[in-house]
Amino acid sequence: MQTYNIHEAKTQLSRLVDQAARGESFVIAKAGKPLVKVIALSAPESSQQRRFGFMAGQIQVPDDFNTMGETEIDPLFRGNE
């Protein structure tokens, strides 16, 4: 994500607004310190971005998941005893 100082952002505002509208967000900084992040209004808000648990209730994990294939896998790690 690009960072622009306030003076730079003022002189290139039209281009930067077009950039943000295309989904390319950027940061405006003052004296090298980030102040604001500019994103398109159509961008999903952080509360709308679902990551963990998005398939809850759609899949089932077998009860023996931790031991599945144990008889085949264990000898590969331990060698032939």
Per-residue pLDDT at 15: 95
- The pLDDT score that the predictor gives to residue 54 is 75
To which H or E segment does residue 29 belong? strand 26-30
Count of helix runs (H) and strand runs (E) in the chain: 3, 3
- CB atoms closer than 10 angstroms to residue 9: 20
For residue 3, is pLDDT > 70? Answer: yes
- Read off the pTM: 0.52
Residue 2, beta-bridge partner list? 26
The residue-averaged pLDDT of 25-30 equals 94
- Degrees to nearest 5, angle at CA 21 with 20 and 27: 15
Contact between 6 and 28 under an 8 Å Cβ cutoff? The reply is yes
Q: Which domains does the chain have, with CATH numbers?
A: 1-40 (3.40.1620.10)
Give the model confidence (pLDDT) of 29-76 as tens digits.
Answer: 999 899 999 988 876 666 556 667 777 888 888 899 988 888 888 888
